[in-house]
Amino acid sequence: MTDRCCFEGESMRKLKFVCLASAVALASTPAFAQEAQEAETQVINDGDIVVTANRTSSLLSKTPIAMSAVGGEDLIAAGITNPTQLEETIPNLSIVRGNGLQITIRGVTSTDGTEKGDPSAAFMVNGVYLARPQAQEVSFFDIERIEVLRGPQGTLYGRNSTAGVVNILTAQPKFELGARADVVYGNFNALNGTVVLNVPASDTLAFRVAANLDQRDNYISDGAPNDNVKLDKFKNNKSVRLSALWKPTPDLSLLLMGDYSWV
């Protein structure tokens, strides 16, 4: 009788030990999930950019596309105010200004910038295709980020994307009051200025207005200043963009945007 009681007592102690170990394991499971979530957030905060190259939001380092992305703050810090300067930070990309922008990605380009020709690299603003090269340069202000996709992208972006895609993502309204002004001056009286104003109307509605002036004198000097001939500026672009964001719930938002340019 005594041996049986001792055996049963030992079995109960083993059972209690197993239950206690299981409870500890279950209690530690949410901690692992929390650590994983914190690690993912840390990756984003460490400089990885969230991109929409494949029409869904994903981290740049985990997007299976040959691409590069540059944030708007990095563009300002590098003094990049024109698309032709992007080759300084993005590899395999060259943009020159002639009769509009001529984009070359991985050596593939189109030299016909007329209304009869189609570019081989697609230029987009917020995912909307801009067909004519003459209208592409005036959209380069108040930028959230730039995504450059290398190689054919016809599956997601349609025709005229044999060389790749240059997608300009403009800054959206934010629910905080803010303003910014950037001015860059260079030779030949080059002037590029941007003014941005962000105003929240309520907890669910915000507005943002941005204006840009991009001009530069002609490279040709008039040898006869008294002949009453006035040379046109090399460029004299003026643009304004107005956007409104309505976000009634965390899962529902409506963005309206309109812009106008003088070239």
Give me the chain's average pLDDT, please. 81
Q: How far, in Å, CA of 200 to CA of 174, rounded?
A: 7
pTM: 0.74
Flag the least confident range among 33-42, 122-131, 168-177, 197-206: 33-42
Give residue-wise pLDDT tens across range 169-197.
999 999 999 999 999 998 989 999 999 99
pLDDT at residue 45 is higher than 70: no
Contact (CB, 8 A) for 164 and 105? yes
**123-140: per-residue pLDDT in tens?**
999 988 988 777 788 889
Structural domains for the chain: 50-170 (2.170.130.10), 178-262 (no CATH)
